[in-house]
Every structure is written in structure tokens, then in C-alpha cells.
Amino acid sequence: MSPSAVPAPTANGHFENDLNLSLLGLGVEYPPFLVGPEALETLANRFYPPSPALKKVLSINRLTGIETRAAVGDVNHPLVNKPDAPSIKELNALFREEGVRLSVNACKKAIGEWGGSVDEITHIVSTTCTNSANPGFDHYVVKQLGIRSSVEKILLHGIGCSGGMAAMRAAAHLALGSSYQQKPARILVLACEISSVLVRSELDSINDEQATRVGVCLFSDCASATILGNGIGGEFAEPVYDLLGWKHQVIDDTDEDLGFDVDPLGWKVVLTQRVPTLASAAVSPCFQDLIQSVPEIHKDGQTPMAADFDWALHPGGSLIITGVQQAMKLTPEHLRASYEIYMKYGNSSSATILSVLNKLRESEGKDQVIACAFGPGIALEMMVLKRRKLGPTTSNGLEHTDLNGSSNGNGASNGSDDMESNGSVTEGAAVVNGHSGVNGTTPEVNPTEMNGSGPNGAPKVASGPAANGEQDEESSLPVEELD
């Protein structure tokens, strides 16, 4: 079979009209606890003396726009209540248990919607930035899912919040390789992050260095998965999205601006004040390049505008979302899924983008979607997708699964020896649009109603310096943003 007969990016950088690449099923698994801003304050007051840096961080914690964050335990989890921050060995043991459990459940949901068998899975592409053990966590996920040991696996690392999209991009290239060989490809794409238990390590740095570290206010836990297919062989259900094209680029001279460095007590966020501006400015030229490379989306010779798409933007922080919104002349409605996931669950790093795509397909919208995420480097990932079917009224995976593997929809955890089992929002329920989100549930959110309206109709998620990206005079970091 000649290369010219295979749907693929052409020599001039354009994608053929029919790549035959589709997302066949999506699955998202959040852990059973939703913690409010009070949880961080409780831990800080338990273990650390008052200080100017801690006071600033706790103030920022109230201004992020996040009502609750998903976490594997509540404020009384034993691992974060020891005299010292957990070691990397302890963090690894928890990830091996909780991360694998979340991953298996997310994969089961994606496989279930696809309708195929684990025996038909040809490849697995996984990513995480919160575990670096060997063998990787994907090894244990494969065993628990009953996937044959000979399946081809790839585990991506070092790509942070852009990891979910990078994994999809890698899977797309694998699928096109299978198309060249006229073989079916059913590729399981998996992202999992457990960030909540790094809270003590971050608080240690805040206390010891008197540094304003905002990552401790934003990150959360999640696993998400999708099945990417190449259209060869039988299909079992209508695809969720078609993948039409993608673009990866690294912003020049930004190596030191964004990262997630290894540390004896886990990983530490690296962030400079330039990140929000750099990220927002990079989106427009990347978008223009991407849409020019996908002839299929040009109707009657007209080049589509950013507002002609719905947007699944990785919600790294409120300034990232509002910055892209303003740069691309979008409305909150275009970014509704990003706002809602950010507000309800926080930033779950690489696992978040599939959660946003999962949320977006719950309601009708634009025919095509732009997905976008930023990661260390600074790396930018962007994709254009086409809707194929409307999702269920309750999202496939935004309900929680209990620790015995059965879905109860309210976030209650059962059978765990190392965490509280009441499933309640830690240290008080979050209030969203006047409704209390208790017992692990959160109400639907209208993005235009989140804490009022800001510039250009954007949700007002912060006020004062945090809202404007200004720095505290004693801080070297912007008070709000992360990848």
C-alpha cells in the first residue's frame, strides 16, 4: 500500500480530509472527596506557624475561583497528617493503589461506551507527572483490566498539564501507522494524576523559603481515558468525536518558565510571572496554523474564526482561561466546559482535558471543537475535533465511583482503611450559585453566573491583585496561574 493512499498529514503540512480517526468512548473518574478552600487552611494551621508567605497563599486560596477540588482523601487523611511531609516512597505507594484504581475505573467507562472488548485493544498510551515508578502505573492498569500482556504500551512523562493531549497526539500517529498497514487500531489513551497529597511538601516550601507558591491552591486528582480508533474493522457505537488535525509547538526561550521539578518529597511547581501572557499570546498563531492545515473545516472557501468553534481549554487557572477568552474574542459560552470543570474539580493536570471534552459533549453546541492545553517547556498542544454524538445528560464519568468499584453518584467512599468514609466536602460544603454541594456532589454551573460577571462577560473568579495577574511585591510569582 503506497503512503499516498493513507490518510495523513501531507508533505505541505496539511491534513487529508478523512483521517478516519475517532474518539470512540470517554471515561472520567474523580476520587470520592471534594475539598473546599478551608481544607488548606486547616492543614496549614495544624502544622505551620503563621508567616507573611503563608498568609498570602491562604488569601490567594480564596480567590482562585475554584469552589471544590477532587481529592483521594479529606483533610484528615493520615498521609498528610504526619509530623513530616510524606516521602516519595509513601507517595508512590499511594499512587500505586489510588491512581491505579482511578485509572481502571476511567478505562472501564471509556471501554464500556465504545462497546468493544479489551482483547481488541491494540495499543495503550498513558501519561502522568505525579508518579515516576518503574514499571509504570500503566503496567498495573493493564493487569487489572485483563488486557493481554503483549499489547503495545507507551508511557509519556515530562509533559505536565499538556500530557492528555500529547497522549492523544501520539495515539493518533500510532493509529495512522496501523492504517498504513491496513490493520485496525483501538488505542486506549489514559491520563492519571494524584496531586492532593503533595500539599505538605508545598506547605513546607512556603514555610521554609517564605515563597508564595500558588500550586497548592489549584491542583486536584483525576483519571481520564478514551479509546481512539482508525475506522478499520467493526465499530460498536457512534463515535463521540472525530479527530481532524493537531499541532504541537514549543514557545521559544521558555524552558525555565514552567515546570514540575523532582524533589525528595515529591514534585515542586516551577512558575514565572510570564506564563499567563506567554500562553495567551501563543494561542492565536497556533490556531491560525492549525485551521489552515485542515481543509475539511473550510466551507465555501471561508476560513473559520475562533468563535465558530466550541473550546475545550485546559483550565490551568482563571487567568489562563480569561486570557485565552480575550485573546481569541470568545465568550464564556465558548469555554463553558472549561469554566465548569475548573470550578467544580480544580486543575487535575494531564487528566483534565478529557474531562473537559467529556463535559462539553453533554449539551448541544458548535459542530467543531478546538482543544488546547499548555505544559512545561512551554509546550502548546492544540487539536480540532468534530462532534459526532451528544453525550448523556449525566456525564460519563463525572459521578464518582466508590472504593469498591460501584458507582453511587454522591462521592461517598466505602471500605477504605486510610481515609474518612463520609464522602463529604472537606471542612464545609462549597456553595455554587447559592446551592450547597454536599456529600461529594456539585450542582450544575452556568459559567456566566460564577461570582458575577467580569470583563467581556467572563466569570469574575477573583478580585484585587489576583484578578489582574499582579504580583505581591514580596513574591516572584503571579498569584494565580499555573499550567
Task: Point out the residues that are catalytic.
Answer: 161
φ/ψ of 445, rounded to 5, equals -120, 130
Closest by alpha carbon to 160, among 65, 275, 67, 70? 275
Closest by alpha carbon to 318, among 432, 479, 452? 479
Cα 369 from Cα 385, distance rounded (Å): 5
Cα-to-chain-centroid distance, residue 268? 18
Contacts of 43 (CB under 8 A, 6+ apart): 75, 80, 81, 199, 200, 203
> Is residue 138 a contact partner of residue 225, using CB atoms and an 8 Å limit?
no
Phi-psi group of 65: left, alpha or beta (phi > 0 → left; psi -120 to 50 → alpha; rest → beta): left
Q: What angle do CA 342, 469, 206 make, to 5 degrees?
A: 80
The DSSP H or E segment spanning 38 is: helix 38-47
DSSP string, 370-412: EEEEEETTTEEEEEEEEE-S---SS-TTTS-B-TTS-B-SS--
Cell digits of residue 427? 471542612
Cell digits of residue 354? 478529557
* DSSP code of residue 294: -
DSSP string, 415-482: S-SSS-SS-PPBTS-EEETTEEE-TT------GGGTTSB-GGG-B----THHHHTPPPTT-SS-SS--
Cell digits of residue 47? 502544622
Buried b (16+ CB within 10 A) or exposed e, 397-431: bbbbbbbeeeebeebbbeebeebbeebbbbbebbe
Closest by alpha carbon to 291, among 231, 343, 244? 244
> Is residue 167 a contact partner of residue 125, using CB atoms and an 8 Å limit?
yes
